[in-house]
Structure 1
Amino acid sequence: MDNSHIYDHFRIQVQPALVSKLSEFHLLGYDSVSENELWNFLIKKKWKKIKDEMKLYEIIQEILSVRVSDYMSYATIEAYKSVEFSFDDENELKELLK
């Protein structure tokens, strides 16, 4: 199965917009967000439903309209999805319940 997204061919062209948005994130104190993480957010969340023939300017507009709160909500949910909770270790359970 091909994991590429239909908008991946725009990635190099929109890189300045991605860098600009990351600079905004950094100004607001979110230094750990990478370009790949932002792009994955756009693909998995913003562009989950693919529109017919999206223009370059529309993609740039959507990149620049990303709010930090939207990205952080997405990142939090993705982090919860990737963590497997195990209550097999009684000490970990006690530590959690402190």
Structure 2
Amino acid sequence: MIETLSWHQKVLLKKEIKLKCLSFQQLGYSSVNETELMNYLVAYRWKKKQPKSIKDCRRDISTIKPNEFFDYQQLVAQTSSLQLKDWHDLEDLF
């Protein structure tokens, strides 16, 4: 999914993605990583309407709230073909 962004765009957005992940971790969401956040942006948040510039992308990344990201994660989990026994990292839920 990340492949829809050019390597140049990925490089320019890396700092904001990293900062947002750190922000989530400071709020207690330790399982959020840069790849998942980038997948959320490309596959969901920017799927129909991608920001016009890198500056707009950065601004949009800075406004992501944890509940928006986890709503997406919940959709992914509900539509995934994995069975419950296939989920290996459930300890963050408890």
TM-score range, shorter chain: 0.7 to 0.9
Assess, with a 3 A threshold, how the Cα gap between structure 1 residues 66 and 7 changes in structure 2: closer, same or farther.
farther
Unaligned runs of 5+ in 1: 86-98
**CA RMSD of the aligned region, Å?**
2.4
Structure 1 equivalent of residue 88 of structure 2: none
Count of aligned pairs between the two proteins: 84
Q: More helix per residue: 1 or 2?
A: 2
Structure 1 equivalent of residue 27 of structure 2: 28
Aligned structure 1 segments of 4 or more residues deviating by more than 2 angstroms: 6-9
1:59 maps to which of 57, 60, 83: 57
Aligned ranges 1:59-78 → 2 under 5 Å = 59-78=57-76
Between the two proteins, what is the percent identity of the paired residues? 24
Unaligned runs of 5+ in 2: 84-94
Write the deviation string for residues 10-65 of structure 1: whole angstroms up to 9, x where unpaired. Answer: 111111111110011001111111100000000011111144x7111001011111
When the two structures are superposed, what TM-score results if normalisation uses the length of structure 1? Answer: 0.74
Q: Which amino acid aligns with 1:31?
A: S
Q: Which amino acid aligns with 2:74?
A: T
SS of residue in 2 equivalent to 1:48: coil
- Offset of 1:9 from its aligned partner? 3.5
Structure 2 equivalent of residue 15 of structure 1: 14
